[in-house]
Amino acid sequence: MPKLDLDAIPQTNATGYPAPFDTQVEGRHYRRLAPAASLAQLRASHVVLEPGAWSSQRHWHRDLDEMLVMISGEAVLVEDDGETLVLAGDVVAWAAGAKNGHHLQNRSDKPCVYVVASAGDYDADSGEYSDIDMVFDAEGYARKDGTRYPVTRLP
């Protein structure tokens, strides 16, 4: 059934972020769509972001293109050069290698719902977090001096 039965796909707010960077994503409830749809090249998550929650720590990817479609509600897109309100029907895209950290913050009083998709070289991908002492690669997370955080990055 190509139309996804979203209710049948497990929803989680799990994160591999080391403390204290995990607290801002506690209200991020996501479903991984690619495994449910047997997609191997396009990955996507269906996300419900509770009021106050962030989509991630602000980051950018070296090897992945990302695109987000806001389905309902609203959130604030934060980037190096400022903030942009993202409303239902808006589309946001980030090209691989563009070193402009981005994330969404739900500052409204209602959940927002979006789908975020990505494509690229998942094994080679790495990137950096803009506001905290953290970088990532396929293996996990490290400080910007290279010291690994003792955590596992979730797929």
Chain residues binding a copy of itself by CB under 8 A are 1-4, 6, 33-34, 36-42, 44, 46, 64-67, 69, 71-72, 77, 79, 84, 86, 88-96, 98, 100, 102, 113, 115, 117-120
Which regions of 33-145 does DSSP assign to beta strands (E)?
Answer: 43-49, 59-61, 64-72, 74-79, 82-87, 91-94, 102-105, 112-120, 127-129, 135-137, 140-142
Q: How far is the CB of 131 from a copy of itself (least distance, A)?
A: 17
Q: How far is the CB of 15 from a copy of itself (least distance, A)?
A: 22
Q: How far is the CB of 105 from a copy of itself (least distance, A)?
A: 14
Q: How far is the CB of 57 from a copy of itself (least distance, A)?
A: 17
Tokens at residue 19, please?
């403390």
Tokens at residue 16, please?
């591999």
User: In the complex with a copy of itself, which residue's Cβ is closer, 14 or 93?
Assistant: 93
User: In the complex with a copy of itself, which residue's Cβ is closer, 50 or 65?
Assistant: 65
Return the half-sphere exposure (C-beta side, CA atoms, 13 A cut-off) of residue 58. Answer: 18
User: In the complex with a copy of itself, which residue's Cβ is closer, 115 or 151?
Assistant: 115
Tokens 């509600």 identify what position? Answer: 73
Q: At 149, is the secondary structure helix, strand, or coil?
A: coil
